[in-house]
Structure formats: structure tokens, C-alpha cells
Amino acid sequence: MFKSKRARWSALIAAAAVIVLAIGFWPGKAGRSPGSVFAAAIERIQTAKTIVCRISAAYTGAGVTMQQTGRLEVSSDYGSRCELGTGGTTSIITYGPLQGPTTTVTPLTRSYTVTDMTALAGPGQKSPGGESVEAFMLALRKLKGQASRELGQATVDGVASLGYEISGEVLGLGPAAGVRSELWVDASTSLPVRYLAEIPMPATDDGNVGTVQVIYDQFQWDTPLDASRFTPDIPADYTRVEAKAPAVDEAALIKALGNYAELAGKYPPALDAATIATDLASAIGTRLGNAAVRGEKGPDQQELAQKAIEIGSGFAFYQQLVNEHRSPEYFGKTVSPGQKEPVLVRWKTPDGQWRVIYGDLHAETIAQ
């Protein structure tokens, strides 16, 4: 059972990387202005040369809580480094450079994953890191919208603070999955005190519903950080797992839908980043957990890493259609894998016709 829980938690951390694929390219919608305090806090986050903070990530569900704590370092010169562990033992270290592939070191399995997302970068853009739990803080570094609403005053960590809610939609994650975050700001200095993000997990086959919560606090600003902190330190006997994102196009979307159906036994209920990440994490976690209970090896790390990043590329193509106002429509809630006639996805082509992908993943163009 212990192995099952650890496998499920690891799957949640890994699948959360899918979220970042969306954050890096598809900024959220602007909301109403929450006032100068919030604006000053966001400006501090976005202009700091370095940010160092404590990070805590917890999964609660099915009567259990799994928690990890660690340290996040973000540098405008070198990228990001996030280290998490339990009981003084490091379980995962993620290195996200400003350019090039992200490296995730997992001492538990004595392996490291190299994730190349170069194909996802648009013209003039840098290739994003593949961070997981640190994704929300990095999203604030790119935030273009405003807070969703004010939460009022409260004492947070002994500091008189003003609170602001930032929805998943404002963060660029889409509105469907209920992702939300709170930023609490020192009322006198306008410096962030605590940032909390919550991701509701879809119900599993046994009806359990969980929540992933990530908290950032104990902030330090513009602390000098050595470049070596952001260079992966990998023991010689660790196994390398590599994943590379395909080009963002229709083929990527078809591949992504096929991968998702293979891993989850269904199509995603919606094509927004938060829904994909949380629903996929639940499915992978269940699959890994069941394999552990039966004493089986479970899905191969290399396979899971590659399939996850391919799903991210497919999602990016759908978001591209949204941004280009191509009237994309998705019907994954009502279409099952293998169905030949039901329309799974459709969008308008530049000449006014419909491009359609069906439940069995064959595609055709239909005149309007």
C-alpha cells in the first residue's frame, strides 16, 4: 500500500508538468483591476532578479494526505530550480533553464528525465521549462491579467495582509477544472507573503475525490544565486529518460487524443490545461497504484514521459486554434474512443470549411 501511495503521488507531480505547457504560451484573460497593492506585488514578482521561497505540496484524498516540502529558486539569468522531499529525504529535483530541455532528477527511482519542448516554442519565444509544482509561481512571472476578486484582510504568518483570488482562467489554465489560487500581500510593503494554489482532482473509479495544494511562502528577494545551482547534478549510475515534444499541428492533436485514450481509457472531458493535467494525473496515478498493489512493474517511465509531452503538444495546437479564432469545438464528454461517426473535434479552415476529427481519430475536411 505504501508503494501504491508513493507511485500515485509521483504521478500527480509528473502529470502537473502538462499544465506548464499551457502556461508558457497561452496567457489568461484580463479581469478587473484589484488595486495598487496587488499590482505592486505582481510587479515585484516579475521584476525580481531572483526569488527564493519555501514550497509545500500536498495531496489529500481517499482518507490520506501525502506531503512534500522544499525550496524553489528562480533566477532571471539562469532559470529555475525546485527541490522537494519528505522527512529530510529528497524525492525530486527539477532544473528549468531559460532555454533548452528541462531536467528532472528522481532519486527514488535513480533516474532523471530530460524533456525537450523546443517544438512548442513559437517564433521569437524561448523554449519553456517543464516545471511541475513550481508552475504557479512561474505563471505569476508571466501574468498579464489581474486578480479575479479581492479576499479582504487577514493576518497571514503574523503579517497584516490583503488577499486576492486568481482563477485558473486568469492564470491561463481555463475555467473548467476549478483551479484557483490566492495571493496574500503585506498591506504595508506590498510584498507577497503567501501564494496558495489548489487543483481539484477528478473522482477516481472508486469515487475518491482529492485535492493538490501548493503553497509558496518565506520569500527572499534578489538573493545572489550561483549559476552552479541551476546546473543538473546527476550521479553516474542514474538512468536517463528522454522525452521530446513534436511539432504543434493537427497530427500532434490526433496523437495526443490517442495517447490520452490509451492511458485513461477515455478522451479528456475538456481541452483546457487544468482539466487535462488533473484528469490525466488521476488516471496515471490509479494505473501505477494498481500495478504496485499487484506487484507489477507498471507503465515504463520513458513511455509515460513521452506520452505526457505529446499530449501537451496536442493541447497547444487546440489552444492555437482558439487564439486564431478558428471556432474550435470539442465533444470529448460524449464521444468514446473507437467510435467512427461521432465528431470529436472540429474547427474552421481558412477557406471556411470544417476540419473534423472523429471518435476513431480519422480526419476529413467537410464543406460548409
- pLDDT of 227 reads 94
Q: For residue 336, count CB atoms less than 10 angstroms from its CB and return exposed for 0-12, middle for 13-18, buried for 19 or more.
A: middle
Buried-exposed string 217-235: b where 16+ CB fall within 10 A, e elsewhere: bebeeeeebeeeebebeee
C-alpha cell at 38: 496587488
User: What pLDDT, on a 0 to 100 scale, did the predictor assign at position 194?
Assistant: 95
The residue among 102, 103, 166 whose CA lies nearest residue 139 is 166
Q: What is the pLDDT of residue 274?
A: 64
Residues 6+ apart with CB under 8 A from 27: 142, 143, 144, 145, 172
pLDDT value of residue 107: 85
To the nearest 10°, the Cα dihedral for 250, 253, 258, 260?
Answer: 180
| DSSP reduced 3-state for 343 | strand
C-alpha cell at 255: 496523437
Q: Quick one: DSSP state of residue 175?
A: S
Task: Count other Cβ atoms within 10 Å, centred on residue 136.
Answer: 27
What's the pLDDT score for residue 109? Answer: 79
**Secondary structure of 112-171 in the HEC alphabet?**
EEEEECHHHCCCCCCCCCCCCCCHHHHHHHHCCCCCCEEEEEEEECCEEEEEEEEEHHHH
C-alpha distances (whole Å) from 134 to each of 57, 129, 195, 221, 313 are 10, 10, 11, 17, 20
Distance CA 73, CA 95 (A): 10
Q: Kindly state the cell numbers that stand for 298.
A: 507498471
Per-residue pLDDT reduced to its tens digit, 48-80: 999 999 998 887 665 666 788 899 999 999 989
Q: What's this model's pTM, rounded to 2 decimal places?
A: 0.70
pLDDT of residue 246: 80
Q: What amino acid is encoded at 333 in this protein?
A: K
C-alpha closest to that of 179 among 322, 310, 19: 19
Name 4's Cβ contacts closer than 8 Å, sequence gap at least 6.
288, 289, 290, 292, 293
Residues 6+ apart with CB under 8 A from 16: 132, 133, 135, 199, 212, 277, 281
CB 136 within 8 A of CB 263: no
- Tens digits of pLDDT across the chain (368 residues): 444 444 445 445 544 443 343 333 333 333 334 458 888 888 888 889 999 999 988 876 656 667 888 999 999 999 899 898 888 888 888 898 888 888 888 887 788 888 776 655 544 444 433 345 566 777 777 776 677 788 999 999 999 999 998 877 776 655 545 678 899 999 999 999 999 988 776 554 455 556 778 899 999 999 999 999 999 989 999 988 877 778 888 999 999 999 899 888 899 888 876 667 667 766 766 666 666 667 666 666 677 777 887 888 888 888 888 878 899 999 998 999 999 999 999 999 998 899 999 999 999 998 87
Domains located in the chain, CATH noted: 2-245 (2.50.20.10), 324-366 (no CATH)
Task: List the one residue out of 136, 106, 278, 104 whose CA is nearest residue 214.
Answer: 136
pLDDT of residue 161: 94
The H or E element spanning position 91 is: strand 89-96
R_g over Cα of the chain = 20
